[in-house]
Amino acid sequence: MGSKGMTPNAVLLQSKGLYEYILDTAVYPREAEPLKELRNATASHPLAFFGTTPDVGQLMGMLLKLVNAKKTIELGVFTGYSLLLTALNIPNDGRVMAIDPDREAFEIGFPIMQKAGVAHKIDFIEAEALPVLDKLLEDKENEGSFDFAFMDADKNNYLNYHERLMKLVKVGGIIIYDNTLWGGTVALPENAVPEGGKRLWRNSSIEFNRKVVGDQRAEISLAPLGDGIMICRRMF
């Protein structure tokens, strides 16, 4: 499946054409078949725009391999593009703990994960993420035990997740936060953004970026891929 007619919103780049160029020349030709299949299966969903964009997925795949990620965690699964991507890029005995209260959406993608032969790597937990993280942290053994984390759940809780993930991920491990440029609205005056969820998430993103930039425990890169990703590497 190519990009025509279904390009994710190219809100951060100079033009939609430039984003299509990146996807068509560098991303789609290298995208694994099961990921294409999962995008197809999600395309008619009313929230299809939730899916992690394939350009972010491509970088995630590389980072997972660079840190030899074996034990990973994901908050915010939806139909499972980023989950399948992770499962495909960790070893056969690797595990991804995937947390989302919406099992229905997960079940759209799960048969594709089974067909791809990676379902045994996936532990889906049907729940809100915060109490699950708190439960994990009750056991000291879980501290510093994850190699990699991907965050794509409720945007107004990112700072709460960050505090917990910085304990759960090992020194040298990676945490990626999606949507941290929130359609470019982080650079707009507040009154230029419609009131409601979008403004709330814009404000949360600004606050999140500011706090993480000041967090000396992490090396960071705020990269303009997809809707913006904050990449953190735990230093101590």
Ligand X SMILES: C[S@@+](CC[C@H](N)C(=O)[O-])C[C@H]1O[C@@H](n2cnc3c(N)ncnc32)[C@H](O)[C@@H]1O
Ligand Y SMILES: O=c1cc(-c2ccc(O)cc2)oc2c(O)c(O)ccc12
159 vs 154: CA distance, rounded Å: 11
88 vs 32: CA distance, rounded Å: 9
Tell me the residue number closest to ligand Y, measured at CB. 154
Minimum separation from the CB atom of position 216 to ligand X (A): 27
Tell me if 99 contacts ligand X by CB under 6 A: yes
Q: By C-beta, is 37 or 128 nearer to ligand X?
A: 128
CB 31 within 8 A of CB 15: no
Tell me which residues in 147-166 interact with ligand X (CB under 6 A): 152-154
x-or-dash string of contact with ligand Y, 114-153, rule CB under 6 A: --------------------------------------xx
Minimum separation from the CB atom of position 130 to ligand X (A): 6
Output the six-digit token pair for 224. 């303009």
Please pick, from the candidates 8, 76, 94, 173, the single residue that binds ligand X as defined by CB under 6 A: 76
* Number of amino acids touching ligand X (CB under 6 A): 20
139 vs 80: CA distance, rounded Å: 28
Output the six-digit token pair for 104. 């229905």
- Spell 79-88 as b/e; 16+ CB within 10 A means b: bbbbbbbbbb
Tell me if 49 contacts ligand Y by CB under 6 A: yes
From the list 127, 72, 80, the residue with the least C-alpha distance to 97 is 72
Q: By C-beta, is 77 or 96 nearer to ligand Y?
A: 77
32 vs 21: CA distance, rounded Å: 19
Angle at 69 between CA 59 and CA 47, to 5 degrees: 50
CB 3 within 8 A of CB 28: yes
Minimum separation from the CB atom of position 154 to ligand Y (A): 3
CB 169 within 8 A of CB 175: yes
Tell me if 81 contacts ligand X by CB under 6 A: yes
Please pick, from the candidates 19, 55, 96, 100, the single residue that binds ligand X as defined by CB under 6 A: 100
What single DSSP character describes residue 71? E
49 binds, among ligand X, ligand Y, none (CB under 5 to 8 A by kind): ligand Y
227 binds, among ligand X, ligand Y, none (CB under 5 to 8 A by kind): ligand Y
Tell me if 204 contacts ligand Y by CB under 6 A: no
Give the interface with ligand Y as residue ranges (CB under 6 A).
49-50, 152-155, 178-179, 227
Give the interface with ligand X as residue ranges (CB under 6 A).
50-52, 75-79, 81-82, 99-102, 105, 128-129, 152-154
